Structure 1
Amino acid sequence: MKATNHRLIAAATCTALGVGLAAKSYAEDSVETLAKQLVELRSTVEQTHEELESERKQHYARMTSLTQRRAELEADVQRRELELKKLQQAISASDRERNKARADADALRPLVGEVIKSLGAHLDGALPFKLEDRRAGLTEIQTKLDKGELSAPRALNQLWTFVEDELRLARENGLFQQTIARDGKEELADVIRIGMVMLFFRTNDGAYGYANKSGDAWSYTTLDPAAAKPLGDLFDAFQKQVRTGYFVIPNALPEVKQ
């Protein structure tokens, strides 16, 4: 009986020892597993923290960039508003100047008309050198002025240019070609203009003469061959570009009214 009890006790002891060892092994495994899981969790937490920190920095950078961009845009808007305000002021000033200029131009229109009329009268009595072209210049200015294509100040500028051209003609001599009316017929002739006081002609048939003013009218006087010879020398000299020398020419100065 005792032997049996001893065996049972030994068996129970072995069983308990086995159970204890098994429990110890399981506990150690559980601790090791928990330790690994804890390490993994810490790693995950650190990684998550790093990701969150990275996101936070990126978000901060984006917000900083957006704030800076917003400030730049606001500054740009202010600059544009200032430019627009200046432009509006310039437009207003320009409108005022334009209205004033328009009023001044309207006031100048009668003066322009008088100047054109006066220059037209000047051409009526002037040396008959390319009169159609010179009159056409005045007519064009008047036409553009009437159509509103030319303002009065601009018309005055063009009229001043016309006067300067007339003064230049009075200072220069030259050989030209133009149509003249002789013996009731028009023909193309070579002409020598001496300033704006004398005009000599040579026709294709060899006739020579000069423009003669009687009263308010101009006509062309033909010279006889003997009297025309000095004019032939004059035309030859002008064709050879000789502008200096001694020349005998007819007195073609217009009559002066007393």
Structure 2
Amino acid sequence: MKRSIARSFLLTLLLASPVWAADLDRLAERLAKLRAEVDRLQQQIEQTKSEHHQQMDALGAQLAQLEAEKRRQQLTVAKLQHELESALAKIPTNRVEDETLKPVLEQGIAALKDYIRTGLPFKTEDRLQAVAKLEGQLQSGSVPAKKLANRLWALFEDELHLTRENGLYQQIVPIDGDSALVDVAKLGMVMLYFQTPDGRYGLARRQQDGGWRFETLSGGDDQARIAKLMDSLRKQIRQGYFELPNPGLTP
């Protein structure tokens, strides 16, 4: 009993000494800092998780929008094909005269030209030239209308193929008032990104009037994302997960 009292008295003396008191103060201060650091890191983790969820929600919405635009493009071409097929089906198959087919082909050509002019600006002039050549042959009568009907159908098939294809190409585009031959990454007929010979990156953005504008991007992150996409396409990697600048697609 006396020994226990002595030990307690000795411990009290030690704790009451200035050295021990200073050590306890330092430990308490360090513990407070550690707790504050833990709280800060916890808040940072929660914020990061929240930002991640928001980013995934935004990417999900963008993906849904792109899928809807892709389906819309495919349905548009399929509808044009169906209209042409229906119009041709109404014409007797025996001894069809060119003059009977001509109005139907003119209607199909006009619809295809309108689709190309208003759609994604991918090699627009080349595609319109192919239609214009067919139209010229129809008007001049240099090629039988039956053969032109098959060629027009093939052009519709080409347009439908473009809606399914991702790839890297080259084309001349207007940038900042000048024309430049650039590398373009085409994703279906929904999105189009480009790289200029001097290393600038950009995208095709639909305007309020329904037209398109090729815009260069200044943000380093956006440029890096486009560069990654183009590098993958060069390596024939046509599928995967990519974060890309949103061109502001219309629904």
Deviation at 1:225, TM superposition (A): 3.7
Change (3 A) 1:242 1:210: same
Kindly provide the CA deviation profile for residues 144-169 of structure 1, in whole angstroms up to 9, marking residues without a partner as x. 11121112222111110000000000
- Choose from 136, 146, 154 the match for 2:129: 136
2:193 aligned with 1:190: no
CA distance in 2, matches of 1:154, 1:250: 44
Match of 1:252 in 2: 247
What is the TM-score when the length of structure 1 is the normalising length? 0.58
Match of 2:228 in 1: 233
Alignment partner of 2:240: what SS? coil
Aligned length: 157
- Choose from 149, 152, 174 the match for 1:181: 174
- Name stretches of at least 5 consecutive residues in structure 2 with no aligned partner: 1-92
Kindly provide the CA deviation profile for residues 158-209 of structure 1, in whole angstroms up to 9, marking residues without a partner as x. 1100000000000010000100101110001000000001000000111111
Q: Work out whether residues 198 and 253 of structure 1, in 8 Å CA contact, stay in contact via their aligned partners in 2.
A: no
- Name stretches of at least 5 consecutive residues in structure 1 with no aligned partner: 1-99
The more displaced of 192-201 and 223-232 is: 223-232
Alignment partner of 2:189: what SS? coil
2:97 aligned with 1:104: yes
Alignment partner of 2:224: what SS? helix
CA distance in 2, matches of 1:243, 1:113: 37
Q: Which has the higher contact order (CA 8 A, sep 6+)?
A: 2
Larger Rg: 1
Question: Whose helix fraction is larger, Structure 1's or Structure 2's?
Answer: 1
CA distance in 2, matches of 1:151, 1:125: 29
Q: Percent sequence identity over matched residues?
A: 38
CA distance in 1, matches of 2:240, 2:101: 48
CA distance in 2, matches of 1:165, 1:173: 14
CA RMSD of aligned residues (A): 1.6
CA distance in 2, matches of 1:145, 1:221: 38
Kindly provide the CA deviation profile for residues 89-148 of structure 1, in whole angstroms up to 9, marking residues without a partner as x. xxxxxxxxxxx9665321111111111111111111011111111011111111111121
- Structure 1 segments (4+ residues) deviating >4 Å: 100-103
CA distance in 2, matches of 1:182, 1:153: 42
Q: Work out whether residues 197 and 253 of structure 1, in 8 Å CA contact, stay in contact via their aligned partners in 2.
A: no
CA distance in 1, matches of 2:244, 2:159: 24
CA distance in 1, matches of 2:239, 2:99: 50
